[in-house]
Amino acid sequence: MRKGLVIAVGFIALLTVAARAQESRSEVSAPGTGFFTKDSDGRGISRTTTNTGGFILGYRYHINRWL
């Protein structure tokens, strides 16, 4: 019973935040990416790869609703 109540309250909070975000003029984003490859080995030749990843933070302020 308590677990269901916590899930319901969390879901309502998520919907409230999403609805509020549509009225806001500022926007924050944090996209990320990564490349994770395997090493290769064959016919006496081996290649070692490097795993890499990154992210970027962004902020936008909308002057007008239509702009």
Secondary structure in 3-state letters for 35-59? ECCCCEEECCEEECCCCEEEECCEE
Residue 50 located in a structural domain: yes
Q: What is the pLDDT of residue 62?
A: 81
The domain tally of the chain equals 1
Q: What is the pLDDT of residue 23?
A: 64
Residue 40 located in a structural domain: yes
Q: Which residue has the tokens 């919907």?
A: 15
Q: What is the pLDDT of residue 19?
A: 65
Give me the domain span that covers residue 56.
2-61
Q: What is the pLDDT of residue 4?
A: 81
Q: Quick one: which of 28, 20, 19, 22 has its CA closest to 65?
A: 22
Query: Low-confidence residues of the chain, pLDDT below 70?
Result: 18-24, 65, 67
Residue 7 located in a structural domain: yes
Q: What is the pLDDT of residue 53?
A: 93
Residue 28 located in a structural domain: yes
